[in-house]
Structure formats: C-alpha cells, structure tokens
C-alpha cells in the first residue's frame, strides 16, 4: 500500500527558534545548540514547513530526547520537535489502535490497558515517543515495537504523507530499514483483546508491576538516555560492562550507573564530550576483556567543537 497526499497550508502555525540549546530538549540535559529548532502546531503545518526547506538541509527529529546526544559544538541543521504534534490516539476496532508518532510510549501503554488490550505493556518501559520507537524498533521487558505494526504513515521532504504496509520494512533487534528520507508520523497496531482465563504468548504484565520492576532495576529521576548499548546476541550489555569493572566509572560529570551498568548518568554538569568519551571507554574496555564490541543504541549527532552557533534568538 502506498498513497501520497500533498498537504498544503501556510507557515503561520510554526515556531522557529534560532540557536536553541539542545540541553533543554534531551534527557541527558547536555549538548550544544541547534541552528534552528522547529515546533509545529499541526501535521499540515509541519509538512508545509519541511517542503519549504532546501533538499540538503540536515534534519533531526526529536521527541523526548531520550535517545539522542548532541555534541557540544551543536547541530548545524533543523531540529523537528514531535512532542505536542501527531498526538492522535484512537481505537479503530476492538483490537486495533491508531497512534501518532508524538504520543509517549507510556501513554500508549495506559490507553491499551484501559481498553483491555494486551501486547503493548512494554511501552510503559520506553522513555520516549512512538515515532522514536518505530524508528529503532524500541523494546523493553521482552517486547518490541514492530511485531505489533500493521501499517504506518510517513512524511517526506516534499511534504507528502505516504501510507505503507508493515511488510515494506525490514526490522530486527533495535533496527529498522525502510524508504530513505521519510519520517514516521503514525502507526496502526494490532493487539489482542484480553479474555479472562486465556493464556497469552507475551505473558501479560500489570503496568504497575512493570513500572515497579523498572524502578527496582534502573536508575529513575536522573539525567540519562535509558539504555546506552544494544544487547549483543547471547549477552546482556549491562552484564558485560559490570563484569569489566566499569560500574561507577566516571569521566568529568558523566558516570556509569551503580544500579544498572548500561546507563550513563549526567551526574554533575557533564558535557556531551564527557558522555561520548565514557561511551568509547566502555566500548574499548569491554572489547579488550571480552572480545565483544558494544554497539550504541543512542544517536550521536552534531559537531564536536563549536563554530558560529550561539544560544538564544527566536523568530
């Protein structure tokens, strides 16, 4: 299924901030400035804005900023804020949900629970938006995003909305491959209706129990991005890092969590360079001791050193 809709509107419903500090928009609470930061009031307005940009403009889509590190030199391009737009969330039939890319994973999990649907409980453990979950096949507590997807809608650089079947994408653990220069704006998910006494493959978990487990095993209420590294096949990244003696390891203000070794915390005004250096140190140490090279989940973007970007001008 492929359908393109050219969405035309004016640009009055767009807020553009020049040289915006990305430390205000990432969960690590650090990083340089973006050349321009864009917040749209609606999807049509966003589509029109993107269509107006040069074809070679660097774009970075940011939701809750929980999987992104912007280097201290900043991002020389346009950051698209998805939070507050693409927020549709509705039940299509008794077991099918339409969800916008700007909906938080935890909100989706609560919505499905309210409607007695199972399969989406793991979204409560994802500290980001649905758009980011689609982009990387995010998962938690044994569940993953893409096995639930039956269709998506994407936005391209021409401002066109395209509807696609899930089978137009390839996915695996923390990996999704699909058409280039398209960004997710929504998904249609197929779940299961809960029936008393029936056993389910995903071992339905009460949301309160899941969140309690997360609080017991992961650092919460601190500046982190969630899990930093993917789990190598047959291993857990946190276990490899802990076995390499790196719990509590610090570079500048960045420190490996004592509670969960696959978390790096901004403990004391860490720079993006502190965090990136700690990531590289972990990779090298684990490789030296185990022969396994850990691959980051986090997206690292931008320039290492500042140029002309300075914080604070609004249009």
Find the largest Cα–Cα distance for the chain. 63
Q: How far apart are CA 311 and CA 17, in angstroms?
A: 10
From the list 20, 71, 174, 186, the catalytic residue is 174
* Catalytic residue chosen out of the listed positions 227, 244, 257, 276: 227
CA atoms within 13 A on the CB side of 27: 25
What values do phi and psi take at 278, rounded to 5? -70, -40
Q: Which of 121, 153, 276, 297 is catalytic?
A: 297
**Active-site residue flag, 297:** yes
Supply 238's token pair.
């946190």
110 annotated active-site:
no
Q: Are strands 2-6 and 160-165 parallel, antiparallel or unpaired?
A: antiparallel
3-state SS assignment for residue 47: helix
171, containing H or E segment = strand 170-172
Distance CA 1, CA 11 (A): 30
> Is residue 57 annotated as a catalytic residue, yes or no?
no
Would you please indicate which residues are annotated as catalytic (active-site) residues?
A: 174, 227, 297
């Amino acid at each position: 299924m492929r359908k393109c809709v050219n969405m035309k509107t004016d640009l009055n419903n767009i807020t553009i901030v020049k040289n915006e500090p990305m430390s205000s928009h990432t969960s690590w609470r650090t990083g340089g400035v973006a050349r321009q930061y864009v917040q749209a009031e609606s999807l049509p307005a966003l589509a029109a804005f993107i269509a107006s940009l040069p074809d070679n403009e660097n774009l970075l889509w940011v939701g809750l900023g929980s999987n992104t590190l912007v280097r201290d030199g900043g991002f020389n391009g346009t950051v698209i804020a998805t939070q507050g737009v693409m927020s549709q969330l509705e039940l299509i039939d008794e077991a099918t949900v339409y969800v916008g890319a700007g909906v938080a994973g935890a909100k989706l999990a609560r919505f499905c629970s309210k409607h007695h649907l199972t399969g989406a409980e793991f979204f409560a453990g994802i500290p980001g938006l649905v758009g980011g979950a689609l982009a990387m096949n995010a998962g938690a507590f044994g569940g993953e995003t893409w096995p639930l997807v039956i269709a998506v809608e994407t936005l391209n650089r021409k401002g066109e909305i395209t509807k696609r079947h899930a089978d137009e994408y390839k996915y695996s653990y923390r990996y999704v491959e699909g058409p280039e220069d398209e960004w997710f704006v929504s998904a249609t998910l197929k779940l299961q209706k809960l029936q008393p006494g029936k056993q389910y493959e995903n071992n339905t978990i009460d949301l309160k129990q899941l969140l309690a487990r997360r609080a017991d095993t992961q650092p919460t209420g601190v500046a982190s991005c969630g899990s930093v590294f993917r789990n190598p096949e047959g291993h857990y990244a946190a276990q490899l890092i802990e076995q390499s003696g790196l719990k509590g390891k610090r570079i500048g203000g960045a420190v490996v969590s004592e509670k969960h070794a696959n978390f790096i915390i901004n403990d004391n005004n860490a720079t993006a360079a502190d965090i990136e250096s700690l990531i590289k140190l972990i990779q090298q140490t684990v490789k030296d001791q185990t022969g396994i090279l850990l691959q980051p989940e986090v997206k690292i973007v931008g320039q290492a050193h500042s140029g002309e970007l300075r914080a604070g001008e609004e249009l």
